[in-house]
Protein backbone atom coordinates (compact mmCIF):
# COMPACT_ATOMS: atom_id res chain seq x y z
CA UNK A 1 0.00 0.00 0.00
CA UNK A 2 1.34 3.42 -0.92
CA UNK A 3 1.72 6.11 1.73
CA UNK A 4 -0.98 8.32 0.19
CA UNK A 5 -3.42 5.38 0.28
CA UNK A 6 -2.57 4.70 3.93
CA UNK A 7 -2.98 8.38 4.77
CA UNK A 8 -6.41 8.37 3.12
CA UNK A 9 -7.47 5.33 5.11
CA UNK A 10 -6.34 6.96 8.34
CA UNK A 11 -8.30 10.11 7.62
CA UNK A 12 -11.45 8.05 6.97
CA UNK A 13 -11.10 6.32 10.33
CA UNK A 14 -10.28 9.65 11.96
CA UNK A 15 -13.52 11.12 10.66
CA UNK A 16 -15.47 8.27 12.25
CA UNK A 17 -13.57 8.65 15.53
CA UNK A 18 -14.26 12.38 15.62
CA UNK A 19 -17.96 11.73 15.15
CA UNK A 20 -17.97 9.12 17.94
CA UNK A 21 -16.14 11.51 20.24
CA UNK A 22 -18.65 14.24 19.41
CA UNK A 23 -21.40 11.94 20.70
CA UNK A 24 -23.00 11.00 17.42
CA UNK A 25 -24.84 7.67 17.39
CA UNK A 26 -22.48 4.90 16.32
CA UNK A 27 -24.23 4.28 13.00
CA UNK A 28 -24.00 7.95 12.05
CA UNK A 29 -20.38 8.13 13.12
CA UNK A 30 -19.46 5.13 10.99
CA UNK A 31 -21.39 6.60 8.08
CA UNK A 32 -19.37 9.81 8.46
CA UNK A 33 -16.19 7.81 7.95
CA UNK A 34 -17.27 5.49 5.18
CA UNK A 35 -18.82 8.22 3.05
CA UNK A 36 -15.35 9.69 2.66
CA UNK A 37 -13.86 6.27 1.87
CA UNK A 38 -12.55 5.66 -1.61
CA UNK A 39 -13.55 2.02 -1.54
CA UNK A 40 -16.51 0.36 -3.22
CA UNK A 41 -19.64 0.12 -1.09
CA UNK A 42 -19.32 -3.67 -1.02
CA UNK A 43 -15.94 -3.39 0.75
CA UNK A 44 -17.04 -0.86 3.37
CA UNK A 45 -18.10 -3.46 5.97
CA UNK A 46 -14.59 -4.91 5.78
CA UNK A 47 -13.14 -1.43 6.20
CA UNK A 48 -15.20 -0.82 9.34
CA UNK A 49 -14.09 -4.20 10.75
CA UNK A 50 -10.49 -3.16 10.16
CA UNK A 51 -11.06 0.11 12.00
CA UNK A 52 -12.58 -1.56 15.04
CA UNK A 53 -9.90 -4.26 15.06
CA UNK A 54 -7.15 -1.65 15.04
CA UNK A 55 -8.89 0.49 17.67
CA UNK A 56 -9.33 -2.51 19.96
CA UNK A 57 -5.69 -3.54 19.51
CA UNK A 58 -4.63 -0.01 20.42
CA UNK A 59 -6.83 -0.11 23.52
CA UNK A 60 -9.00 2.76 22.29
CA UNK A 61 -12.16 0.71 22.69
CA UNK A 62 -12.80 -2.07 25.15
CA UNK A 63 -15.56 -3.83 26.99
CA UNK A 64 -16.96 -1.82 29.90
CA UNK A 65 -16.57 -3.06 33.44
CA UNK A 66 -19.49 -5.26 34.47
CA UNK A 67 -20.13 -3.09 37.54
CA UNK A 68 -20.80 -0.13 35.27
CA UNK A 69 -23.44 -2.08 33.37
CA UNK A 70 -25.36 -3.29 36.41
CA UNK A 71 -27.61 -0.73 38.03
CA UNK A 72 -28.46 -1.03 41.68
Angle at 20 between CA 42 and CA 52, to 5 degrees: 50
Angle at 52 between CA 48 and CA 58, to 5 degrees: 145
Domains held by the chain: number? 1
Q: Pick from 10, 6, 23: which is nearest to 58 by CA?
A: 10
Q: Pick from 72, 24, 25, 33: which is nearest to 52 by CA?
A: 33
Higher pLDDT, 58 or 72: 58
What's the pTM value of the predicted model, to 2 decimals?
Answer: 0.67
Q: For 1-40, what is each residue's pLDDT tens digit?
A: 454 554 455 677 888 888 888 999 999 999 988 887 778 8
Instruction: Give the domain extent around 16.
Output: 3-69
Who's near 24: CB < 8 A, 6+ residues apart? 32
Amino acid sequence: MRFDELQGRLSEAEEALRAIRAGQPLGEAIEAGVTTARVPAARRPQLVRQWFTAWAELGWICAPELDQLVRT
